[in-house]
Every structure is written in C-alpha cells, then in structure tokens.
Amino acid sequence: MSGVYEGLTVVELADRRNQWAGKLLSDGGARVIQIEPLKGSPGRWCGPFVNDKPDADNCLDYWFNNTGKQSVALDFARKPAQDLLRQLLARADVFVESTRPGTLAAMHLDYASVSANKGLIYASLTDFGQDGPWRDYVMNDAAHLALGGTMASSGYSDPTVTPIGGKGNQAWHMGCAFVLHGITVALFDRMTSGAGQYVDVAIHDACGIGTEGAVPHWMYFGETMYRQTGMHANAKRVPPLELPAADGKYVMAINQALNNRTWNALLDWMDEKGVTGELRDPKYQEEAVRTAEYRQGTLIRDSIRKLIAASNAEDCFHRAQNMGISWAMVGSAEENYGIPHYEQRGYWRNVEHPQIGRAIPYPRGPFACDALGTEPRGRAPNLGEHTRQVLTQDLGLNDQEIAALAAAGVML
C-alpha cells in the first residue's frame, strides 16, 4: 500500500515526546530510521510490559508509538556515532529531534551544521522552543497541560477538587501534531523551492492554543470557563450529564435540542418506564417552554436521570440516537474491539508480533482515505534490529568497519 509520505526517508532521534510524530510519518509510508541509545529509547522503558516483565522489546506503549520504524542503536555521546548520524542526515529528507536546546549544536549537528543537505527539513520539538526566557526549563506531559491552560478546563465540576490532566500524553501529542503539520507544509514548499527548512515547535505553544473556548471566551466576554465533569468547560456551572444506568454503567446525556419529534418520542419512552411525571402537561409542547425548563429548571433533568437509571446503558445509547438525541454510553477502551461499527469500517489492522506468537489489532488511523494510505506498516522494531542493515546499505560500511564500531561499543 502506498502512502502520502511514500519515498521519504526520515531520521528520528528517539525520545518519548517526538515518537508519535515519527509514527504518523511511518504510517503514511515514510521510511523512519529511529536512532536510539544502546540501552534503548526512553519509550521502551515506560511500560506497561508484556506479562509485566520489563523488556526493551516488549513495551506496549513503545509498540503503539513506533509502528513500522527501523531501529539503529548507537552510543550517541561518542563522536563516531555522531559522525554516522551526520552521514545519515546528508541523505535524509526529514530529521525529527527533541533534545534540549543547544544539545545538538555542541555536537555540530544543529540545523546550521547539517544544512549542506539543501533539501533537509529539520524539525525540533522541545518544551518551550529554541529561544525565550523559558527555553531551558524542563517539563513533563502533565506539567505542560497545567501551565498551558488545558488542565484548567479539565476535571470535575466540584470547584474544591483539583484540576486533572488527561492521560495519554496529550501535551506531547499536541506537539507532535504540529510537528507533522510543519513538516507537511515544508514538504509542499520544497516541491517548488527545492529547499528544506527549520521547523521549531514548542509543546507549550501547542498547549496554549489547545484550550478550546477558554481563551476566546475570556477575550470576548471577560469570563472564566469552569470545569465540568465529563463535558466541555463552560462559563456557567451546569448539572452533571454523566448519569448512572441500571447496569452500573454511565450514560452521557447531552441534549442539544428537544424538537417536537424528539420530545414526543422521549415522553413515550418515559411513559414506558413510569418516570414522565408532570412532563405531559400541554405547556411543554411549546419548544421554548421546555427549552427554558431544561436550561433553568429541574423537572426534565430529573425525569431523564430516572429514565437512564431504569434502562441499560447500551439501550439508552441506541434508542436515544435513533430518536435524534446525541447520548452516548461511557465505554472502556477495550470494548472498542468488539463493536461491529469498527469492523464494518475496516478500522483495525492486524500487526504480527513474533515475540508473543500472535497478531494484535491496531487502529488504522484517524481517517479513511485511500489516496493518503495511512495505517501501521508493521510492528515496532526490536532494539538495534536494523543497525547493521542501515550502516551497510545506507552508509556503505563494510564488515570490518562495523566490527570495529561494535568492538569499540559505539553500536549495538
């Protein structure tokens, strides 16, 4: 299968922060050569591990974020390894790195030092960018969500409970998304100019513009957005919409509109469960009246809460959707594997993992587009799996030269 990045060679300096950008390039058809330290990328050691046994080649987080890449293991602190990287960059289309500002300049591997490759697109992903008074500050993912403003809108409605940052390395992923955007735009520019360029992405910048409506709402109305349990932040505190169902699960009961068709179908459902209460009063046939009651009163919300409490979550989801109400059940991540909708859309791609003797279904990608061809191209590499292949086929080293590097501890 061809992909949108087919034919490109990407060199990625291994790090947990940038690895998802490399994965997206690989899933799009690029050849991604990941340069790792001899003990492996930090991404190999974060867990969870197969059978809970720490192993550089059996980290599930690493597996997901590094599909289809090649692994070259080098002692990057040593000059021979730096020289090898320099040679690779002389042939590459894209370089992705996330070292602290100034690190690669000291090794003569910064953009200015390798720009003899006129077509090279050099993308740096760092905490605060290459300049500014905070450039040397160090952050983790959760701290970025806090400082960047995202966490202020994330958590529970109870104002006495501290803000909560979402899991899944969301700040790093925001940074990686902008790295991919920057690389893609630079590739388009290179098609006409023939020249590469430097792309400087700060994770903090990405978080700062990833606060949904909080910033524009403050700018336009001078109002702070409040955290809402399981909902978008809002300038007004609203009652909870995550409601318990009869089977112990939860339903997200979002009511975007209560038009006549939806309202009457909802009343019939409430009649079945005996929770209609006063809502058959003719005054509620007026959409403006029931909308005002829903926004400001408690009758409709109480009946909806009782309705969901008397129903199973999945029944609520399907029946509400068929009525034009955008409710959803709260499902666990693993339940997605059994949903027929995903199967019908061809969402899963089986990736073989010889180390466990079976294939694992991976998500195809966030969209389906034959012309772009985005999907995992294979499993994540074992540590140093492609070192010798890259040194011989890409750099032309012979067996004696490789043996000398191995004996000196430069490569794995």
Three-state DSSP class for residue 358: strand
Reported confidence tier of residue 299, pLDDT bands at 50, 70, 90: very high
Residue found by looking up tokens 């058809």 in the block: 29
Q: Residue 270: CA atoms inside 13 Å, Cβ hemisphere, count?
A: 20
Distances (CA, A) of 280 to 26, 266, 267: 58, 11, 8
| pLDDT for residue 341 is more than 70 | yes
**Does 184 reside within a domain?**
yes
Task: Give the range of the structural domain holding residue 311, as residue numbers without chain letter.
Answer: 250-330
* End residue of a domain, out of 330, 358, 389: 330
Structure tokens at 240: 């909870």
Residue 250 near residue 244 (C-beta atoms within 8 A): yes
* End residue of a domain, out of 273, 305, 330: 330
pLDDT of 167 reads: 82
pLDDT of 212 reads: 86
Reported confidence tier of residue 407, pLDDT bands at 50, 70, 90: very high
Distances (CA, A) of 146 to 149, 150, 160, 216, 280: 6, 6, 17, 18, 47
Strand partners, 70: 33
Domain count, the chain: 2
Structure tokens at 37: 């330290």
Percent of the chain past pLDDT 90, that is, above it, reads 81
Plot region of 277 (φ>0 → left; ψ -120 to 50 → alpha; else → beta): left
33: Cβ contacts below 8 Å, ≥ 6 apart: 9, 10, 11, 12, 69, 70, 72, 88, 92, 386, 390, 394
pLDDT of 234 reads: 87
| pLDDT for residue 255 is more than 80 | no
Spell out where 237-336 has E strands: 242-244, 250-252, 328-329
**Does 94 reside within a domain?**
yes
| pLDDT for residue 1 is more than 70 | no
Cα(118)–Cα(106) distance, integer angstroms:
21
Reported pTM: 0.92
Q: Do 204 and 69 fall within a single domain?
A: yes
Q: Do 289 and 401 fall within a single domain?
A: no
Percent of the chain past pLDDT 70, that is, above it, reads 100
How high does pLDDT run on average in the chain? 94
Residue 52 near residue 60 (C-beta atoms within 8 A): no
Q: What is the pLDDT of residues 126-169, one digit of tens each?
A: 999 999 999 999 999 999 999 999 999 888 888 899 998 888 89
**Does 216 reside within a domain?**
no
Q: Do 99 and 204 fall within a single domain?
A: yes
Q: Do 173 and 206 fall within a single domain?
A: yes
Residue 386 near residue 70 (C-beta atoms within 8 A): yes
